[in-house]
Chains A and B, each alone.
Chain A
Amino acid sequence: MPSRRVAVTSPQTRIAHARRRVHTAWRPPALDPDDVQRAMRVYAVQRRRALLPLVLLVSLLLGIPAVLAAWPALDDVRLLGIPVSWLAMGALPYPLMVGIAAWQLRRAERAESADETA
């Protein structure tokens, strides 16, 4: 006869499972003091390194429309028949954003691994 597998628990365990768990206030898991010091170093470096790409991104996004609004003449300048102002809106931002993303990815990862080897 094929043996069926049955979960075996002590009666105490079953009673404990049946009882409603007491809800205490939830606390995030504690950090080791050693980890805290590393984390503070990484946090400080990452916060510093996050500023420049953010400034670049925001000035890029708010700057291009401002330039296009200030110089409507760009609508009449054409590159390969396409108005330069259309290119500045529809094509130019993308390579710039890819550049910022790749650059910041490297910086952020380096900040982490530098701390690990330190």
Chain B
Amino acid sequence: MIAFLSVAPVVLVTLLIGLRGIAAMRTTSDFLVASRRVSPLLNSAAVSGEYLSAASFLGIAGLVVKDGMGALWYPVGFTAGYVAMLVLVAAPMRRSGALTVPDFAVARLASHTLRKLSAVVVLVIGGLYLVPQFRTAGLVLSAVSGSQYWVGVVIAAAAVSITLALGGMRAATYVQAFQFYLKMLLFIVPAAWLLIQVGPEVRHEAVHPVEFTHFAKDTPVDFQLDVTLELREPTTVIGRDGSRETLPPGELRATSGSTLVFAEGTAVPQARGGAAPGGPGWQRPLLDLRHAGYPLLGTWAILIATMLGTMGLPHVLVRFHTSPDGRAARRTAAITVGLLSIFYLFPGIYGTLAKVLVPQLYLAGTTDTAVVALPSQVESGGWGDVFTGLLTAGAFAAFLATSLGLLLVVSGAIAHDLLPGGLNRLRGTVFAAAAVVVMLALPSARIDAGVLVTWGFTVAASTFCPLLVLGIWWSKLTKAGALAGVTVGLLASAGAIAVTLFGGELTGWQAILVAQPAPWSVPLAFATMIGVSLFGRPPSWAAAAMLRLHLGEEQHARPGPGRDLGHLSWQARRSSAVRRITRRLGR
């Protein structure tokens, strides 16, 4: 009931705002980039609204419980990405006039092969990013309302694809901008309420964490997935009728849908190789990925992936194209840094409180639901229910906004770049793409949102980041170089992810570099792109194509007093004159 009351208004308002966008939708440009008439202030709210996904709203606090305080480096990298975007990409990318990233490949390098390849990369990133959104929506809905996991996933998919197919980017812009402020409100107010309500002991324990070794009270743990726990000591569980049963040490299999109530004072069982929350490693402000013993390398790997990946995320880049010009796109990036900086101060509060109040979630492997589980721990009924509802609504808004943008670029990549078609094909593709993502999300309930999303960032960092940075700042980039670099980056990052998902166990620093390949896959992609380009020769117009990206809109030559272009001699305007001037770039 709480779930329905909180999610229904969000979905309804989303649909209503989406409907507003329909009236003005006529062309592909309307659908994909809202005809480029969005002001920096509105656009930066929309960018932030789209960017603050379920992984930010729920995932970071969940990772804090599971992996330790070091998980707070994720949002730092997420924000830093926009600083890098502002410096390197925002304005020139907008000036390229391309509708999507694959379009940029055509505008800068005139390569249709690269366009198709980039569209495939968009699909890979979109998949890695969309699946955890749908998964988290399903998990949260089932945690709050007790419905089945797949019901939540299907409801989420339906809401997103209907809004998008009807309203396109114009609808998405208003929806995302509205949802940014909604999320901000729904994240900050409950945080303040929780901090006040928990009392001084919990606040003290939050900043002086102790290891979660024994249950402090009778603790029910809901298992939404099949989990194998390792009992190290005789463990007392309480049956539904209040009878106590002591289980011998050994393995305990908990099936999905079951609930175990651990008695007060019982030792906490061990869950899938992880350390219990609150231990000495947990408190360190570094991210010891996979408990490999190299926390600094792990932290750097995450920071590199998230910072450089943001620059290459197709759904973020397409948002910059909705700005009227390059200058507005740059301002959008700057304001976004500020908006995100406010939001990202709060996941840490949720994470530390969740460690104290709901550490048992790590046993069930569902720490992603920690944020929505908090209010009922502080106060059962009354305000607790209200705030659970608010946080659920916020999480659902987070999921909706991000999925809207992602589904848009995925459909754009299919129906605009791979198989060009009109507006109706775009709309149809939205539903088809959503159906495929639902199919992928159903079996991946087990993988943390934060991990999958970071892989999306890694693929973006190893493919689009070098393509954009070199395309904008290096005139000697060739078609062959770009193709080789994107291919190598895609194979390296996707290959490493496949090894992590399906391959054997690795230990030590190799485990980190395979699980988070950004530290080597990004330099490798850059090196390939530069190396192959140096062997070839860029076409004669390449320098002009690059320079065009740096020319402000207001700076284009206009006929004015004293300089009438119409009367310039043909000799001075021909392309060899341009080539002569741009030759200086090579020196």
List chain B residues, Cβ under 8 A from A77: none
CB within 8 Å for A97 and B83 given contacts A65-B300, A89-B73, A91-B345: yes
User: Nearest-CB distance from B538 to chain A (Å)?
Assistant: 12
Is A93's CB under 8 angstroms from B338's CB?
no
Question: What is the bound-complex CA distance between A37 and B585, given in angstroms?
Answer: 11
Mask: chain A, 57-93; 1 = CB below 8 Å from B; 0 = not = 1001110011011001001001001110110111101
User: Nearest-CB distance from A91 to chain B (Å)?
Assistant: 6
CB within 8 Å for A75 and B286 given contacts A90-B72, A98-B337: no
CB within 8 Å for A97 and B578 given contacts A33-B573, A35-B551, A36-B544: no
Residue of A nearest to B338 (CB): A98
List chain A residues, Cβ under 8 A from B69: 86, 89-90
Binds B, one of A3-11, A12-20, A104-112: A104-112
CB within 8 Å for A116 and B552 given contacts A72-B284, A89-B76, A101-B86: yes
**B266 contacts partner chain A, Cβ-Cβ < 8 Å:** no
Is B86's CB under 8 angstroms from A104's CB?
yes
List chain A residues, Cβ under 8 A from B330: 105, 108-109
Interface of A is mostly: helix
Residue of B nearest to A100 (CB): B83
A-B residue pair count with CB separations less than 8 angstroms: 179
Number of interface residues of B (CB under 8 A): 68
A interface list, Cβ under 8 A from B: 25-40, 42-43, 46-47, 50, 53-54, 57, 60-62, 65-66, 68-69, 72, 75, 78, 81-83, 85-86, 88-91, 93-95, 97-98, 100-102, 104-105, 108-109, 112, 115-116
Q: List 14 A-B contacts (CB under 8 A).
A: A30-B541, A33-B581, A40-B584, A40-B585, A54-B84, A57-B80, A61-B307, A81-B207, A82-B207, A86-B285, A94-B76, A101-B83, A104-B86, A108-B330
Which 8 interchain pairs have the tightest Cβ spacing?
Answer: A94-B341, A39-B547, A101-B337, A28-B545, A105-B334, A90-B348, A43-B550, A89-B285
B interface list, Cβ under 8 A from A: 69-70, 72-73, 76-77, 79-80, 82-84, 86-88, 91, 106-108, 110, 112, 204, 207, 283-286, 295-296, 299-300, 303, 307, 327, 330-331, 333-334, 337-338, 341, 344-345, 348, 473, 541, 544-548, 550-552, 554-557, 563, 565, 572-573, 575, 577-578, 581-582, 584-585
